[in-house]
């Protein structure tokens, strides 16, 4: 066996919540992470479908001069699904892009304050906009409104997708308040301690 230390993956992300040992919060948080993972997989599937539809529409439009009347509204709905269904899992896994130029210079207490402010703002935005989208979706469903054009999609679907994505994101913030950049740093320190205990070191 090699004596070289085992290096941690660059994009090391936990697959479960740090509180998975908590009898109450752990299973709920883990279940939520699994749900958001499924939503993210669906987003990937939608991306492939939109690519196929776009390619097919280009062929029909410029080769056969028969553009598809339904391609644009369907692709627009697909883009909404891609964004709204991917955001919750990105937040749960802390894999979003972070502008941490100034954040890294904060003290541990400053980082904690920044995390609290960020999570609070995200929670308020998700709840307010999510509930507003849910209310609008219900109203459009009752009224039976549809998009304009030859291929009419029900308007309530777009708002329902936005409501689901943002409300699930709110649940991620509520059930995973410890999943902040501060806790991520703590996890890295813990991993380093484990590696050192096993006889390995990191450069």
Angle at 162 between CA 161 and CA 164, to 5 degrees: 65
Please tell me the predicted confidence (pLDDT) of residue 203. Answer: 47
Residue 1: what pLDDT? 47
Higher local confidence (pLDDT), 161 or 107: 161
Instruction: Taking residues 58-85, report their average pLDDT.
Output: 91
Indicate whether 25 pLDDT > 80.
Answer: no
Region 195-201 average pLDDT: 50
Tell me the three state secondary structure of residue 103: helix
**pLDDT at site 101:** 79
Please tell me the distance from the alpha carbon of residue 15 to that of residue 154, in angstroms, as a whole number. 36
Q: Which helix (H) or strand (E) holds 184?
A: helix 181-197
Query: What's residue 177's pLDDT?
Result: 61
Written as six digits, the tokens of 39 are 């939503």
Is the confidence at residue 75, as pLDDT, over 70?
yes
What is the chain's mean pLDDT, rounded? 79
Q: How far apart are CA 184 and CA 124, in angstroms?
A: 23
DSSP annotation of 105: G
pTM listed for this prediction: 0.73
Per DSSP, the chain holds a count of helices (H) and strands (E) of 5, 0
DSSP string, 88-99: HHHHHTT-S---
**Nearby residues of 26 by Cβ (< 8 Å), 6 or more positions away:** 17, 19, 20
Please answer whether residues 106 and 100 qualify as being in contact, where contact means their C-beta atoms are separated by less than 8 angstroms: no
If one compares 160 and 153, the residue with the highest pLDDT of the two is: 160
For residue 33, give both structure tokens.
């992470």
Q: How many CA atoms lie within 13 A of 141 on its CB side?
A: 11
Comparison of pLDDT for 76 and 200, the residue scoring more: 76
Given a cut of 70, whether residue 163 has pLDDT beyond it is: yes
pLDDT of residue 46: 96
Mean pLDDT of 175-186: 54
What share of the chain has pLDDT > 90, as a percent?
39
Residue 6 has pLDDT above 60, yes or no: no
Q: Per residue in 124-133, pLDDT tens? A: 999 999 999 9
Q: How far is CA 75 from the centre of its chain?
A: 20
Q: Report how far residue 191's alpha carbon sits from residue 28's, in angstroms, rounded to the nearest whole number.
A: 24
In the predicted structure, residue 162 carries a pLDDT above the cut 80 = yes
- In angstroms, the CA 14 to CA 168 distance is 19
In degrees, to the nearest 5, what angle opens at C-alpha 61 toward C-alphas 60 and 65?
A: 90
């Amino acid at each position: 066996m090699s004596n070289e230390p085992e290096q941690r993956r660059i994009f090391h992300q936990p697959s479960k919540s740090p509180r998975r040992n908590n009898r109450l919060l752990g299973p709920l948080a883990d279940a939520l992470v699994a749900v958001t993972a499924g939503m993210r997989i669906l987003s990937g599937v939608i991306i492939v479908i939109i690519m196929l539809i776009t390619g097919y529409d280009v062929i029909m439009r410029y080769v056969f001069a028969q553009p598809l009347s339904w391609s644009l509204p369907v692709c627009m709905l697909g883009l909404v699904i891609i964004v709204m269904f991917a955001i919750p899992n990105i937040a749960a896994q802390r894999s979003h892009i972070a502008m941490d130029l100034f954040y890294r210079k904060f003290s541990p207490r400053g980082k904690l304050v920044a995390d609290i402010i960020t999570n609070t703002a995200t929670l308020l935005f998700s709840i307010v906009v999510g509930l507003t989208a849910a209310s609008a979706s219900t109203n459009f469903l009752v009224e039976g409104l549809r998009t304009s054009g030859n291929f009419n999609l029900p308007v309530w679907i777009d708002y329902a997708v936005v409501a689901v994505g943002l409300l699930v994101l709110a649940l991620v913030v509520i059930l995973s308040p410890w999943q902040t950049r501060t806790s991520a740093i703590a996890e890295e320190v813990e991993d380093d301690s484990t590696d050192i205990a096993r006889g390995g070191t990191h450069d």
